Amino acid sequence: MHESIKEQYHVVIGLEIHIQLLTDSKMFSSDRAEYGALPNTNLSPITLACPGALPRVNKKAFDYAIKLGLACGATITDLNFFARKSYFYPDLPKGFQITQDTTPICQGGFVTIYSNEGVAKQIPLIRMHLEEDTGKSLHGMVEDITLLDYNRAGTPLVELVTEPALTTGEEAYQFLAEIRKLVRYLDICDGNMEEASLRCDANISVARKGAQRLGTRVEVKNMNSMRNVQLAIAYEIDRQIDLLEAGEVVIAETRNFQATSGETVSLRAKETASEYRYFPEPDIPPIWVSQEWIEGIRKTMPLLPRAYFKKFTEVYGLSDYTASVLTENKAFAMWFDELCQHTTHYIAAANWLLGPVKGYLNELSLSLEDFPLTTDCFVALITLVESGTVSFSIAASQIFPLLLQKLDTTPMALAKKLDLIQDSDEGKLKTLVAEVLAAYPDKVAAYKNGKSGLLAMFMGEIMKKSQGKANAPLARKLLEEALA
């Protein structure tokens, strides 16, 4: 579709994000809430809604929802009621879902997203409410039969609903990335969309610019990655514009995203609130959230990604890009911050973390918690390089791998044992420089005639003659002086 046609339309996108909470038990029962258990093993009469089985509220789920609300600047609701929301789907054993209707635990608030150019945009939130998850329908395992696994039924969820304030699939991607980072920093959700612990539905409508009303809203489901959310929204925007350009109407419906084809397909007509037949849950009394409860949780709040980003750029002098990469992972952000309490070589520490350390962890599929070096040992390695005692390349390729195997030694001890200490004797280095330049008079002439790229060749020869032990910055300085 030509961009000139798109520019004639106004796009409005709202997101509904289901955040599965990392509690040990389910929302209204003591059944285990775990991913990957054998089908239909984490069940009880409460989950299956047997007669006489009464639900009981999981306090930890409330704690986690309040944490998320505080992180987003939302207002916490003091008096909370639950309601029954009727569904006619087989993956709900009760035939209804226990959720919050009129009193969501969190109201308002916002999440700030950042474009690739670093431009900030606040996305306002309507609400966050607590509810239970559904079971899972498994298609295709047995021909013409759908299997049901109720293990997930009853798992605590927070559903976060945004205002229709997003306008592109790229913004939706950025929003999801911020939410995933946030819930991981708060330790309330693992954020794995592939395992459905973080799920997103998008509501999309388009209308001609200047129209008095928003376009017809279409909901898109079944997007199991942030990239798929972006692709589904882009496809749906084009589909709706094509319909309007052809003089047709957009139907209010729920559509599924097909990752293989990159298209959305109709699933069912869009439900209305009246079809859910909300009514108060008679078996759960009102839940009162006191200010003391809220303040107790506020005191446990960790430093959040944007606070780390600000600290890394303003205090430690990192670039926006480096700070963004470090704050993607809570463990990396915390460990880098800890390193910076023991060294002032902040940029070098960041480069080590994002280079050799990350490479080592990725190669062995390890997390930072599995990294064997202590803070003191790692700081000593950084200092060894920054003091000019050993070059970075030697430290990264020889000392670092050995430290990972021999935890009872130090970087300096290894450097001495392996004879890796850099040669910083100016007299020796000047002799090496003179020998190299004397061996290549034609190259020296070419350099002086403008072929500055030959400097790297000269440095390579110097390092070769010194068996890699020449202090490279000092050797380069002496080389440039000699050539001048």
Q: How far is CA 170 from CA 11, 177, 227, in A?
A: 13, 11, 9
Is there a domain that residue 412 lies in? Answer: no
DSSP type of residue 395: I
pTM of the model: 0.86
* 81 plus 230 within the same structural domain: yes
Phi, psi of 325 (to 5 degrees): -65, -45
* 287 plus 434 within the same structural domain: no
Integer Cα distance of 144 and 453 in angstroms? 68
For the chain, give percent helix, strand, coil, nearest 5. 40, 20, 40
Per-residue exposure over 232-258, b if at least 16 CB sit within 10 Å of its own CB, e if not: bbbbbbebbbeebeeeeebeebbbebe
Is there a domain that residue 133 lies in? Answer: yes
Three-state DSSP class for residue 104: coil
Range(s) of the domain holding residue 130: 3-293
Give every CB contact of residue 76 below 8 A, 6+ residues apart in sequence. Answer: 66, 69, 70, 105, 106, 289, 294
Is there a domain that residue 353 lies in? Answer: no
How do residues 310-335 score in pLDDT, each as one tens digit?
999 999 999 999 999 999 999 999 99
Share of the chain above pLDDT 90, in %: 65
Is there a domain that residue 119 lies in? Answer: yes
Confidence of residue 155 (pLDDT cuts 50, 70, 90): very high
End-of-domain residue from the set 275, 293, 311: 293
Domain containing 479 — which CATH number? 1.10.10.410
Is there a domain that residue 421 lies in? Answer: no
The tokens describing 100, both together, are: 């919050």
Is there a domain that residue 378 lies in? Answer: no
Integer Cα distance of 191 and 201 in angstroms? 15
Position 434 scores a pLDDT of 79
Phi, psi of 47 (to 5 degrees): -60, -35
Cβ atoms of 87 and 96 within 8 Å: the answer is yes
Task: Identify which of 347, 275, 342 has the alpha carbon closest to the alpha carbon of residue 88.
Answer: 275
Query: Taking CA 438 as the corner, what is the angle to CA 432 and CA 440, rounded to the nearest 5 degrees?
Result: 110
End-of-domain residue from the set 266, 293, 320: 293
Specify the higher pLDDT residue, 458 or 273: 458
Mean local confidence (pLDDT), 40-64: 93
Mean pLDDT score of the chain: 90
End-of-domain residue from the set 242, 270, 293: 293
How do residues 209-244 score in pLDDT, each as one tens digit?
888 788 899 999 988 899 999 999 999 999 999 999
What is the residue-wise DSSP string for 223-239? --SHHHHHHHHHHHHHH
Number of domains in the chain: 2
Is there a domain that residue 369 lies in? Answer: no
Cβ atoms of 375 and 381 within 8 Å: the answer is no
Is there a domain that residue 446 lies in? Answer: yes
